[in-house]
Structure 1
Amino acid sequence: MPVTNVWEILSFDKIAHFFVFAVLCFLFILGFSKQYTFLFFRFYAVPLAIGLSIGYGLIIEIGQTFIPDRGLEPLDILANTIGVFAGWFVFYVIYKI
């Protein structure tokens, strides 16, 4: 099993991924839940926002494999995913409690 340094996991890059995807998911949920044109989006705001945010993160990471000197980083995917659920939690705390 490879040894991972704690500072590699908590680097600025991973923290930025976390916050960007938290904001992305929060705004997706907010936008879907506040609109009235497409009731499907309003009714399924949370699962759609989580799925779209995680899917976007995966597409970005997979797309980096086609760029020279870039690659797919599993820790970036993890930071993105944790950020998505943090954005959902923040939305829940602000609007549901």
Structure 2
Amino acid sequence: MSCPGCGVESVRVHSRYQRRVKDCAVGGQPVVVELTVRRLFCDQDSCPRRTFVEQVDGLTVRYGRYTPGLRFSQDFRERVTIRHGSSADDAFAEER
């Protein structure tokens, strides 16, 4: 895993912790993904970061509480609401 501050590979583990991110609902039921992620040391003296947390490609981003799919879904709903002047559900119902 590469340090996002300097790009140098790091393998020395500082700690592990549980992380939860919300994902798109399935069958009307909310989905929460629970992960165990590693915090790693950056051993590069010139790097401003001492530690950093690994990210799971396509699932987590730094400080993110939602998966990219859910974030995209929420952004899309907001754009539809702004464009149509009503809720996204109302806009979709009108199209049917």
TM-score by length of 1: 0.29
Structure having the higher helix fraction is: 1
Question: Larger relative CO (CA 8 A, sep 6+): 1 or 2?
Answer: 1
Q: Please say which structure displays the higher CA radius of gyration.
A: 2
Structure having the higher strand fraction is: 2
